[in-house]
Amino acid sequence: MTNLKDLKTRIGSVKSTQKITKAKQMVAAAKLRRAEERATDARPYTERMEMVLANLAAGSEGNPNAPKLLAGTGKQETHLLIVATADKGLCGGFNSSIVRLAREHITRLQGEGKKIKIIAVGRKGDDQLKRLYGNLIIWKTNFLEVKQIGFAQASEIAEKVLFMFDAGEFDVATLFYGKFKNVMTQTPTPQQIIPAIAPEGVEAPDLRGAVYDYEPDEAEILTALLPRYVGVQIFRALLENVASEQAASMTAMDNATRNAGEMIEKLNLQYNRARQAQITTELIEIIAGAEAL
């Protein structure tokens, strides 16, 4: 027969867990609103920069003096993967989905004989990647001590990436992050940032027949714009990650709270049945003893 004390202890334990998951859900919901606002507010700037880049890049196509960040090194032998994840767990499959996408990318590139280097941004991504690709991780960082991610954190990563590119340590850099769509949907997204290319779907602005003369010329503008473009894209990815993490955490904790409630109901039913069976057994023993007398 099931021990009533053990069942009661287990019910209390699940109730305590339910309180924790409910609290974390409320905290994530409170943080999500602000994180979503920051991610949404950053999009117009990055999208406009992408449009300007597409326009200038079109004008510089075939130009031998085009900046190296746009033209590339002329080869694609060494790839740098910047894998941005969260520093904390309890957010469903958010971190795993980004790492899975990066792993698929690594497998494909290694199959083509390419050399891989990894920058792990976020503790959870580093924890998962180092199991199989620890020897490929050349640098890692996290934001556990940072109250709110700002452009300063993105600039630090961008400076590291640009320094490595100038030193000839890689040919192509791809950024992996979770793009926030809504509370239920966060999409793992790869984006090549070096050589800089406009993301799919971004078109050069319609000039309606107008012709613009750039001063200084396109190459000089791009030389100044492209390093900032790298930093802006990394910053955007970090903001999208924060919003996606909170949304995934809120959803995961909501599911956990409901699952805990269902488990409590089942345990209560099991407890009541066991208690009833114990009372019935005791009554039978009392009646049998009375009859024997």
Domains of the chain as residue ranges with CATH = 41-202+216-249 (3.40.1380.10)
Please answer whether residues 92 and 248 qualify as being in contact, where contact means their C-beta atoms are separated by less than 8 angstroms. yes
* From 91, 172, 247, 248, the catalytic residue: 91
pLDDT for residue 82? 93
Adjacency order of strands within the sheet including 172-180: 137-141, 115-121, 78-84, 172-180, 186-194
Query: Which are the contacts of 55, defined by CB distance < 8 A and separation ≥ 6?
Result: 204, 205
pLDDT for residue 85? 92
Longest dimension (CA), the chain: 114
- Each residue's pLDDT expressed in tens, for the chain with a length of 293 residues: 458 888 888 888 989 998 998 998 898 888 888 888 888 888 888 888 777 777 666 655 656 667 777 777 788 899 999 999 998 888 888 899 999 999 999 999 999 999 999 999 989 988 999 888 989 999 998 888 878 888 888 999 999 999 999 888 999 999 999 998 888 888 899 988 888 776 665 555 565 666 566 666 666 777 777 888 888 999 999 999 999 999 999 988 989 999 999 999 998 898 888 888 888 887 777 777 777 76
Please answer whether residues 246 and 33 qualify as being in contact, where contact means their C-beta atoms are separated by less than 8 angstroms. no
Rounded CA separation 276/288 (Å): 18
Rounded CA separation 53/220 (Å): 13
pLDDT for residue 284? 79
Respond yes or no: is residue 91 known to be catalytic: yes
